[in-house]
Amino acid sequence: MNGLVLREERFQTSDDCSLCGLVGASEKIEPVMIGNNSGEYIIGVWKLTDNGPVWEPDPYLQTLRWQAEGMAFELLYIGIPDEVSKADMIAIAASIK
């Protein structure tokens, strides 16, 4: 089943922002622009292992993160990779007011 999840959080500093943490520390994070705001796009998910969390480049989870006017946003797409593209996610994010 495919789905989109939007999370948002008001924050003062990145230290008190749960949406401002690392995604894919061992993977390439792709910088993107959402309107006039910079953001980041990555494919994958943290998987828990016996040795702790490990980033896995799972094509069935795409994440787009950005910040604007004291808000942090995270748009997740879970599903078949060809049905929602990075460009689709950026367009959705840009439409959020």
Condensed to tens digits (0 to 9), the pLDDT of residues 44-66 reads: 887 888 988 887 888 899 999 99
Residue 92's pLDDT band (cuts 50, 70, 90) = very high
- What Rg do the C-alpha atoms of the chain give, in angstroms? 13
Condensed to tens digits (0 to 9), the pLDDT of residues 66-87 reads: 988 888 999 999 999 889 999 9
Backbone φ and ψ for 94, nearest 5 degrees, come out as -65, -25
Q: Which of 57, 89, 88, 67 is CA-nearest to residue 76?
A: 89
